[in-house]
Amino acid sequence: MLNYIDNHLNEDLNVKSLSMKFGISFFHFHRIFKAYLNEPLGGYINRVRLDTAVRLLRYTEEPVAEIAMRIGYNNSSAFSKAFSKEFGVSPQEYKSDKQILLNTHIDYKFNDSGKLIADIKPKIITLKDKTIIYTLFFGDYGGENINKAWESFLNYAVQNNLVGWKPNIFTIYYDDPYANDFKNCSSELCIATNKPVIQAANIDRKIVKGGKYAVFRYKGPYERLWELYKIIYGQWVLTSNIILRDLPIIEKYLNYSPQTNPNDYLTEIYLPIE
């Protein structure tokens, strides 16, 4: 069945048609599939389609529109939105810039019953310098106040036409909340943009220096990110032959939206290394 899906991505692959194709009861098909792969059928098909798109965009000369049709999208617009939501860049940007490395592996996630699924294999990438606008925040990294600060900052960016429908947003964290008083922890809420900034209180512009990073990908609600941090620092750093750079850690939010289910949030943690 998995081979069939891989070879027929351009078709309408739904539960009813697949259950009939393989002679499995429609009422039990999706439960069998989910139990076997630890993810729903739709999620698996979307993942395979986008992973296939990554290879076709990088290693073939096919136009984006043809690739979209080949993997089952009716139009390039729908494909572009799905690809950008998953990877943070558009298909055309990825195809045009051979230096872009995508992180398609989920290092850390939770299934529907809350059970941890961990497969820590960070991608090592080198980032370019990035121009950003930012606002400085002091306080609990996971509290209500930082959520309000993000809401205000994003509203400012939208009102001033500084972001598109897929904003490049991230937070730079400077302190350890378990070593410092929570209210004194500092961070920068950041949006990558080359557009000029309209003067506003508490909002400034600068260049974030690039360099080498280990990137960990997490799927799930933000409040459980600390569990991944414990594995990164408590296990991976101590058992890996890496040297940490003396720079703050970065959290990038790939698909944040008030309409997105928190269990589907995709977050990348960038750990600066030598």
Percent of the chain surpassing pLDDT 90: 32
Mean pLDDT of the chain: 86
Q: What is the CB neighbour count within 10 angstroms for residue 53?
A: 26
The structure tokens listed for 182 are 């929570």
**163 vs 191 pLDDT, higher one:** 191
pLDDT at 178: 67
User: Span 29-39, mean pLDDT?
Assistant: 81
Q: Are 68 and 52 in contact (CB under 8 A)?
A: no
At residue 231's C-alpha, the angle toward residues 258 and 244, to 5°, is 100
Strand partners, 253: 169, 267
Predicted confidence (pLDDT) at residue 99 exceeds the cutoff of 80 = no
Of the CATH numbers 3.30.930.10, 2.60.40.420, 2.60.40.1890, 1.10.10.60, which one belongs to the domain with range 2-95? 1.10.10.60
Q: Are 132 and 193 in contact (CB under 8 A)?
A: yes
pLDDT per residue as tens digits for the range 51-78: 999 999 999 999 999 999 999 998 889 9
218 SS3 class? strand
Q: What is the CB neighbour count within 10 angstroms for residue 204?
A: 13
Q: Position 111: which residue type?
A: N
The structure tokens listed for 169 are 């947003």
Predicted confidence (pLDDT) at residue 203 exceeds the cutoff of 80 = yes
pLDDT per residue as tens digits for the range 216-237: 999 888 888 888 898 999 899 9
- Domain definitions of the chain by residue range: 2-95, 123-272
DSSP class per residue in 161-217:
T---SS--EEEEE-S-TTTS-GGG-EEEEEEE--SPPPP-TT-EEEEE--EEEEEEE
Please state, in angstroms and rounded to a whole number, the distance separating the CA atoms of residues 161 and 155: 10
Cα separation values, 174 from 116, 148, 252, 260, Å: 28, 19, 15, 28
Please state, in angstroms and rounded to a whole number, the distance separating the CA atoms of residues 256 and 150: 11
pLDDT per residue as tens digits for the range 107-121: 888 776 777 788 888
pLDDT per residue as tens digits for the range 125-145: 888 898 999 999 988 877 788
pLDDT at 194: 82
pLDDT per residue as tens digits for the range 176-186: 776 666 677 88
Helix axes 26-37, 41-59, angle to 10 degrees: 60
pLDDT at 98: 78
Predicted confidence (pLDDT) at residue 210 exceeds the cutoff of 70 = yes
CATH number of the 123-272 domain = 3.20.80.10
Task: Please count the CA atoms within 13 angstroms of the CA of 62 that sit on its side-chain side.
Answer: 19
User: Span 84-93, mean pLDDT?
Assistant: 82
Best CA proximity match to 232, nearest among 216, 245, 251: 216
Residue 143 has what DSSP assignment?
S
Residue 48's pLDDT band, with cuts at 50, 70 and 90, is very high
**37 vs 181 pLDDT, higher one:** 37
Best CA proximity match to 49, nearest among 25, 24, 85: 85
Strand partners, 208: 130
Residue 250's pLDDT band, with cuts at 50, 70 and 90, is very high
Percent of the chain surpassing pLDDT 70: 95
pLDDT at 187: 92
